[in-house]
Chains A and B, each alone.
Chain A
Amino acid sequence: MRIDCKHVWQHISAYIDGEIDASQRVEIDRHLETCEICSAVLDSTRNVVVLIADNRVFELPAGFSDRLHARLDKEIELTET
């Protein structure tokens, strides 16, 4: 039985993470060969996942680490007295 687009969409995340079993992967791959919509949905989802993982998207506030370690130093001093 041929799988439909909805079935592919349900497994996209697991497919990207390589967490589906081999037989399902084969079915999905076969579907992707002929379905340009699912191919575009998969490619765009993967692209989004790659982009959000880039360190430039989420940066710590400037000086965050310095302030944190300065506060920590005070706390360490307190435990030593």
Chain B
Amino acid sequence: MTAYSSEFEADWIRRIVAGEKQLFHDLIRPCERSIYFLLMSLLRNEAEAEDAAQETVIKVFLNLKNFRGDSQFRTWVLSIARNEGLGRLRKASTRREDSLDAETDEQTGDYTPAILTSWREVPSEALERKELGSLLREAIEGLPVIYRNVVLLRDIEEMDVRETAAALDITEGAVKVRLHRARAMLQRTLAPRLKGFAPRRGGLFGWGK
């Protein structure tokens, strides 16, 4: 992810609003992934997430003059994406698979992890195996939406707690609680299934063969 300084960003925004509209392409590029995956997390449909991402980017372009710079540009963009996604979910409420309101952080759940007595690390190279990627995606897609959104922005898009809280319009405390629960759920689902992807003990040429 390209890190833009806010001064640099503010300068570009001024120039775009003043008429150098083509610059907008480069302004939005670093946000594209986060926009898409936040919408994918909400809508769970590739085609619709892509369409909603395009709508979001156009709304950002048309409303750029209203950006006040009191948050990071990406945070502002992601809150527009979230509103776009939530608006679509409301319209298609019959299609909704999980409620956005019913689940609160007060609910007490069982967050006992998968109990293991030893762990052999699965190296990132194991991702060359397609099944591993699908396993991880399925586990994340299986999380309730409020946890999925947080894990997506914090662990996948690597946004900090403050930025995640602002983009999702929740408190920083809620980000931490939800992230903790999400990771615990992922560990519980994934740990027993990931074992097969660890390199064989002691072998130099072991894993994946």
Contact = CB atoms under 8 A, between A and B. Distances in A.
Contacts of A40: 116-119
A64 to B, nearest CB: 6
B89 interface: no
B136 A52 contact: yes
Interface residues of A, number: 39
Contacts of A3: none
B24 A76 contact: yes
B107 interface: no
Interface residues of B, number: 50
A44 B114 CA distance: 9
Contact of A80 (B21, B118, B132): B21
Interface of chain B, helix or strand or loop or mixed?
A: helix
Contacts, number: 129
Given A51-B127, A54-B124, A9 B176 contact: no
Interface stretch (B3-11, B53-61, B79-87, B162-170): B53-61
Interface of chain A, helix or strand or loop or mixed?
A: helix
A4 B115 CA distance: 14
Nearest to A49: B155
Interface in A31-81: 36-37, 39-41, 43-45, 47-54, 56-58, 60-61, 64-65, 67-69, 71-72, 75-76, 79-80
A47 B119 contact: yes
Contacts of A50: 124
Contact of A60 (B33, B133, B180, B190): B33
Contacts of A65: 29, 32
Interface string B165-188: 000000000001001100110110
Interface of B: 21-22, 24-25, 28-29, 32-33, 36-37, 46, 50, 53-54, 57-58, 61-62, 111-119, 121-122, 124, 127, 132-133, 136-137, 140, 151, 155-156, 158, 176, 179-180, 183-184, 186-187, 190-191, 194
12 contacts: A36-B117, A37-B115, A37-B117, A45-B184, A45-B187, A48-B183, A57-B156, A64-B50, A64-B53, A65-B32, A68-B32, A71-B57
